[in-house]
Amino acid sequence: MTEVVQEIKGHKDVGYKPSTGIFASNTMFAGDFEDELDNVTFYDVPQSHKEMEKVDADKGQQVGYKNCSFRSHDGKASTYDAPGAFWDEEDPKHYKWTEAYDACPQLASMLDWFECPIARVRVFQQQPGHVMATHSDFDNQKGTELGETLRIFVQLNENKGDFHYRFQTADSDVSIQLQKGQFLIFNPDHTAHGTANTGDEARNSFMLVVKKNEWLENLMKDDSPLPTVIDCKELAKERKVA
């Protein structure tokens, strides 16, 4: 079994709290994710994303984020922003799978494993020497007629100790290093979040915008019988047969 490495400082409540907490799973997705991502195109993130900041100006490498959407409102992998007004609630039924989803059967199988309503899905590719400042979003302030909005992050490439996720609440400051295939879930409104890549290789991670349902609530319970490893190669084979 792959060792799950986590560095948690000052986190008073281990586990998930619907309004303020995070859920870091010990379940690991396994598969050739890096090979599949070689089949897709990454696009520059709009310059309007002002929170992107450079960590090390002397590395001489491209800094910032690139993006590839697996689910977008127009079904295009190059699309970054959500549809409609900024304050509109994101309705999963208004989103479509893109050509990137079709080109990556193992990654598609991973996304299919989550049995909850899914709106946007992107792969964020964080360049070496780049940090995204800790911030909160407005997903649930847009309206919760469709339920509480949560985010899911899945680490897609090997972490050599250089990929950092930071989460802050009123009573906690959490630093987590996800390993390849590990995922976490949190509320982006109530939990301030940021990332840093202090290494020499790009960090690839899925970001899913989802709506909480009974399946997701059960997933995040401490006694949930989750498998240790989910083999996306096998899921992709089963998906192809079906």
Domains of the chain: 22-241 (2.60.120.330)
Please tell me the predicted confidence (pLDDT) of residue 60.
46
β-sheet bridge partners, residue 41: none
The residue that leads in pLDDT, 62 or 139, is 139
Judged by average pLDDT, the poorest of 113-117, 153-157, 172-176 is 172-176
Please tell me the predicted confidence (pLDDT) of residue 242.
63
Give the separation between CA 68 and CA 100, rounded to whole angstroms: 7
Please tell me the predicted confidence (pLDDT) of residue 223.
61
The string of pLDDT tens digits covering residues 81-139 is: 765 656 688 899 999 999 999 999 999 999 999 999 999 999 999 988 888 888 888 78
Residue showing tokens 């090979």:
35
Q: Tell which phi-psi region holds residue 201, choosing left (phi > 0), alpha (psi between -120 and 50) or beta.
A: beta
Give the separation between CA 181 and CA 196, rounded to whole angstroms: 18
